[in-house]
Amino acid sequence: MHAPLIQPTEDGLYCAAGDFHIDPWRPVERAIITHAHADHARSGSALYWAAKPGLGLLQRRLGKNTAIHGVDYGETLQFGPVTVSLHPAGHILGSAQIRVTDGHEVWVASGDYKRDTDPTCAPFEVIPCDTFITEATFALPAYRWPSAAAVAADIQQWWQANASEGRTTVVFSYALGKAQRLLAELPTPHPGPIFLHGAVAPLTDDYRAAGIQLPVTQTIGEAADNEDFSTSLVIAPPSAAGSTWMRRFRKPATGFASGWMRIRGNRRRRGYDRGFVISDHVDWPGLLQTIEETGAKRVLTTHGRADELVRYLNEMGLNAAPLNTLYGEDEENG
Partner 1 sequence: MHAFAELFQTLDRARGTNAKVSAMAAYFSQASAADGAWAVYFLSGRRIKRLIGPTRLREWLAEATGLPDWLVTETHEHVGDLAETIALMLPEGVEQADDQRGLAEWVEAEILSLRDCEEAECQSRVTSAWAALDEAGRFLYSKLLTGALRVGVSQTLVERALAQASGHPQAVIAHRMMGQWTPTAAFYSGLFSEREEHEDASRPYPFFLANPLEADPAELLGDIHDWQAEWKWDGIRAQLVRRGDAIYLWSRGEGLIGESFPEIIEAAETLPADTVVDGEILAWQDDVLPFAQLQRRLGRQRVGKKLRAEVPVRLLIYDLLEQGGEDLRARPLGGRRQTLEAIMAGMPPPLMLSPLVMAADWQALAALRAESRARGVEGLMLKRRDSAYGTGRPRGIWWKWKIEPLTLDAILLYAQPGHGRRANLYTDYSFAVHDGEQLVPIAKAYSGLNDAEIRRLDRWIRQNTRERFGPVRSVEPQQVFELAFEGIAASSRHKSGVALRFPRIKRWREDLGPGDADTLQQIKALLP
Binding segment toward partner 1, per CB under 8 A, in 4-12, 54-62, 193-201, 310-318: 310-318
- Give whichever of 159 and 260 is closer to partner 1, judged by the CB atom: 260
Q: How far is the CB of 177 from Zn ion (least distance, A)?
A: 7
Q: Does 225 bind partner 1 (CB under 8 A)?
A: no
- Give whichever of 37 and 42 is closer to Zn ion, judged by the CB atom: 37
Q: Strand 76-79's sheet: what is its strand order?
A: 76-79, 82-88, 96-101, 106-109, 131-135, 298-302, 319-322
Q: Does 158 bind Zn ion (CB under 5 A)?
A: no
Q: Does 132 bind Zn ion (CB under 5 A)?
A: no
* Binds 52: which of partner 1, Zn ion, none (CB < 5-8 Å by kind): none
Q: Residue 288 and residue 290: Cα distance in Å, rounded?
A: 5
Are 22 and 133 spatial neighbours (Cβ–Cβ below 8 Å)? no
Residue among 18, 85, 91 nearest 54 (CA): 91
* Binds 269: which of partner 1, Zn ion, none (CB < 5-8 Å by kind): partner 1
> Which residues inside 102-121 make contact with Zn ion, applying CB under 5 A?
112
Residue type, 237: P
- Give whichever of 111 and 191 is closer to Zn ion, judged by the CB atom: 111
Q: How far is the CB of 174 from Zn ion (least distance, A)?
A: 9
Q: Does 268 bind partner 1 (CB under 8 A)?
A: yes
Q: How far is the CB of 307 from partner 1 (least distance, A)?
A: 8
Q: How far is the CB of 102 from Zn ion (least distance, A)?
A: 26
Q: How far is the CB of 251 from partner 1 (least distance, A)?
A: 11
Q: Which of 140, 149, 318, 326 binds partner 1 (CB under 8 A)?
A: 140
Q: Does 273 bind partner 1 (CB under 8 A)?
A: yes
Q: Does 266 bind partner 1 (CB under 8 A)?
A: yes
**Taking CA 68 as the corner, what is the angle to CA 66 and CA 72, rounded to the nearest 5 degrees?**
165
Q: Does 69 bind partner 1 (CB under 8 A)?
A: no
Binding segment toward partner 1, per CB under 8 A, in 121-129, 198-206, 229-237, 308-316: 308-316
Q: Does 141 bind partner 1 (CB under 8 A)?
A: yes
Cα distances (angstroms) measured from residue 159 to each of 21, 147, 183, 213, 229: 44, 19, 13, 21, 12
- Give whichever of 37 and 270 is closer to Zn ion, judged by the CB atom: 37
- Give whichever of 69 and 268 is closer to partner 1, judged by the CB atom: 268
Q: How far is the CB of 217 from Zn ion (least distance, A)?
A: 22
Q: How far is the CB of 271 from partner 1 (least distance, A)?
A: 7
* Binds 327: which of partner 1, Zn ion, none (CB < 5-8 Å by kind): Zn ion
Q: Residue 94 and residue 210: Cα distance in Å, rounded?
A: 10
**Contact footprint for partner 1 (CB under 8 A):** 140-144, 260, 262-266, 268-271, 273-274, 285, 305, 308, 311-312, 315
